[in-house]
Amino acid sequence: MTENSLTHGSEASEVLARLHELRTLDAPTHGGRVLAYVYDSGIDDLDRLASEAAEAARPLNGLDPTTFPSIATMERDLVSFVRRALGGDDRRIGGRVVGSVTSGGTESCLLAVKTARDLWREANPELRLTLAREDRRPRLVVTSTAHAAFHKAAQLFDLDIDIVPCEVDGSVRASSIISRLGDDVALVVVSAPAYPSGAIDPVSEVSQAALTLGVSCHVDACFGGLALPWWPDTPAWDLRNPGVTSISADLHKFGYAPKGTSVLLHRGRTRHRKQFFATTAWAGYPVVNPTLLGSRSVSPTAAAWAIAHRLGAAGYQRLTASCARSATAIEQAVREITGLTVWGNPTGPAIALIADTSLPESERVDPHHLADEIAQRGFQIQHQPGVTQANGVRLPHSAHLTITPVTEQLLPEFIAALRDSAVAVRGTPQASATVSLAAMRALGYSEDRAPSPAAAWRILRLVGAAPKLPKGPGGGGALPQKMAPLMALAEYLPAPVARALLTELLARVSER
Ligand SMILES: Cc1ncc(COP(=O)(O)O)c(C=O)c1O
């Protein structure tokens, strides 16, 4: 297959052969070797079922469930399944819970914010004007460990983001969040659990305070929302708290569905309906969209629906038990690795590894070197740069592990690889960004001045962080083998510069 086929076409068999060849370059999506991005149940027939269900729904358009009523049935089932799992069935707690199927975590978070913002605007017309006169907007209160989707939401929906600093261990005090609440807050967000740390935020205290003050409160359970209901010893983190006004849980994570499906639930129809966009003010068909997209694929919904029916709550419980056993075993193993430790107190299927700073540098295990090293041994864990918060407290750089049911199949091998990798990198300090930082300053880039795309690309090449780009119609661009130096740039360069470099890196990967 050549560039030519995009002009003249080619045989289906050739196209598919090419796709399968391209796929050999990808990280393995099954088998537990990639501990981020993918959620493998380990049940083969579930994948087959998902594929068949997705194929059955492939020609549909989610734009209109009245023309294709199967969509409405599937969405009803999924919403009620998730509502029950998330403690939302008891109408005595704050009334009826209703919701929508969205395309993923980011869309659920965006819609939770948009809905709360619109309700706030409606309830506070005068305060809105007062804030505007002071060049302020209503606030979106989040923690440092809240997902970046909320930063995106604040940008898109014109809110001021107010980030509550976490403690060094990644936890956040309820009082720190509550002290930020006021009548100019459109929404406060707590996570269950937070992706970077795996910790559950103080949902009960914060949602209770929000209820008292009349502030909307969203629980972001996109990551763990379909594992925590069956996880041992969890606090009440969900709709059992009457002050929780909305909650999100991704079917394409621990729901084991293919990418493209999540559920967003609201307390009360009034709130839910604010999520919708509806108009008759154009020359075409009346547009009524519960979510951000117009035409949308129903395949992920159909796959999620099939999986939820196949597994039932009992199936999710079994799969979650496996994740919980692996999490306990990994935490135990890490405790025995000198120089490495688990960040804070995770509850659920995410664990972050950090260097044990109670030991001298020569005995510490840097998590990013560890991640690079374990990649050589066939496992991918995810680099998370550290972050210096507004109060000066630095949250450490770490390596994230998403623990799925297949983790258990490879547990002895994974733990051995962790131990061996730790031995290999023990004492190697965090990659330095000092030279790049000095070079950036010399070039005049700073908090106030970001490089252009061309300059960003030159810098990436200069510091050896540019992806290798294929010549001609090859596979996608490959990132440098060692990610630790790139992550140090992300952590230490002025934020606008780091953003420009990372944007350029990703844009170039898909550019020809
Ligand atoms: C807690 C949390 N919220 C939101 C998201 C965004 O989800 P998505 O990547 O499906 O858009 C994630 C993704 O990891 C997450 O962990």
User: Residue 413 pLDDT > 70, yes or no?
Assistant: yes
Indicate whether residue 150 lines ligand 1 (CB < 6 A).
Answer: no
Q: Please, are residues 405 and 41 in contact by the beta-carbon 8 Å criterion?
A: yes
CB 373 near ligand 1, within 6 Å: no
Question: What is the band of 441 on the pLDDT scale with cuts at 50, 70, 90?
Answer: confident
Q: What's residue 475's pLDDT?
A: 57
**What is the average per-residue pLDDT within 283-296?**
97
- Give the nearest ligand 1 atom to 107 CA: 11
Cβ-Cβ contacts under 8 Å for 171 (sequence gap 6 or more)? 197, 199, 344, 345
**Ligand 1: nearest atom to the Cα of 193:** 1
For residue 1, what pLDDT band results from cuts at 50, 70 and 90?
A: low
Q: Where are the alpha helices (DSSP H) in 142-274?
A: 149-156, 174-178, 203-213, 269-274
What is the pLDDT, as a whole number, of residue 349?
98
Instruction: Report d(CA 398, CA 356) in Å as an integer.
Output: 11
**Nearest-CA residue for atom 9 of ligand 1:** 105
Atom of ligand 1 nearest to the CA of 104: 10
Over residues 316-345, the mean pLDDT reads 98
Q: Report the separation in Å between the CA atom of 66 and the middle of ligand 1, taken as the mean of its atom positions.
A: 30
* Ligand 1 pocket test, candidate residues 195, 238, 263, 264, most atoms within 8 A of CB: 195
Residue 216 is predicted with a pLDDT of 98
pLDDT of residue 296: 97
Preceding omega of 480 cis (within 30 degrees of 0): no
| Average pLDDT, integer, range 6-12 | 95
What pLDDT, on a 0 to 100 scale, did the predictor assign at position 473? Answer: 55
Quick check: CB of 39 below 6 Å from ligand 1? no
Distance 10 CA to ligand 1 centre (A): 38
Please identify, by atom number, the ligand 1 atom nearest to the C-alpha of residue 221: 1
Query: Residue 463: what are its φ and ψ, rounded to 5°?
Result: -90, 10
pLDDT for 205: 98
How many residues are present in the chain?
Answer: 512
Q: Which domains does the chain have, with CATH numbers?
A: 57-307 (3.40.640.10), 313-425 (3.90.1150.10), 434-509 (no CATH)
| Spatial CA neighbour of 254 closest among 297, 308, 191, 301 | 308
55: left (phi over 0), alpha (psi -120 to 50) or beta: alpha
Residue 4's pLDDT band (boundaries 50, 70, 90)?
confident
- Residue 428 CB partners (closer than 8 Å, separation 6+): 366, 369
Percent of the chain with pLDDT over 90: 89
How large a percentage of the chain has pLDDT more than 70? 98
Return the pLDDT at 186.
98
165 lines ligand 1 (CB under 6 A): no
Q: Is the CB of 223 under 6 A from ligand 1?
A: yes
- In the predicted model, is pLDDT for residue 477 greater than 80? no
Residue nearest to atom 4 of ligand 1 (CA): 105
| pLDDT for residue 511 is more than 60 | yes
Q: Is the CB of 492 under 6 A from ligand 1?
A: no
Q: Ligand 1 centre from 218 Cα, in Å?
A: 14
Say which range, 170-184, 211-225, 430-444, has the weakest mean pLDDT.
430-444
Tell me: pLDDT of 69 over 70: yes
Residue 472 — very low, low, confident or very high, per pLDDT cuts 50/70/90?
low
Ligand 1 pocket residue status of 219, Cβ below 6 Å: no
Task: For ligand 1, pick from 34, 223, 382 the residue to mutate: most ligand atoms within 8 Å of CB.
Answer: 223
For 441-469, letters b (16+ CB in 10 Å) and e give eeeebeeeebbeeebbbebbeebebbbee
Residue 106 CA to ligand 1 centre (angstroms): 6
Each residue of 24-44: pLDDT tens digit? 999 999 999 999 999 999 998
pLDDT at 439: 84
pLDDT in tens, 95-146: 899 999 999 999 999 999 999 999 999 999 999 999 999 999 999 999 999 9
Which residues, 6 or more positions from 69, have their beta carbon under 8 angstroms from its beta carbon? none
Q: Are strands 394-395 and 340-342 parallel, antiparallel or unpaired?
A: unpaired
Mean pLDDT of 241-267: 98
The average pLDDT across 255-277 equals: 98
> What average pLDDT does the chain have?
95
Instruction: Give residue 190 CA to ligand 1 midpoint distance, Å.
Output: 13
Ligand 1: atom nearest CA of 191 is: 1
Tokens of 142: 């989040």
Residue 2 scores a pLDDT above 80: no
Note the pLDDT of residue 434: 85
369 lines ligand 1 (CB under 6 A): no
CB 34 within 8 A of CB 27: yes
Q: Kindly report the CA angle at 266 between 263 and 267, in degrees rounded to 5? A: 145
Give residue-wise pLDDT tens across range 449-471: 999 999 999 999 988 888 887 76
Ligand 1 neighbourhood includes 402 CB (under 6 angstroms): no
Q: Is 106 in the pocket of ligand 1 (CB under 6 A)?
A: yes
- With bands split at pLDDT 50, 70 and 90, how would you rate the model's confidence at 438? confident
What does DSSP assign to residue 449? Answer: B
Cβ atoms of residues 110 and 249 within 8 Å: no
Q: Report the predicted TM-score, pTM, of the whole model to 2 decimal places.
A: 0.97
Per the model's pLDDT, the better-predicted residue between 472 and 416 turns out to be 416
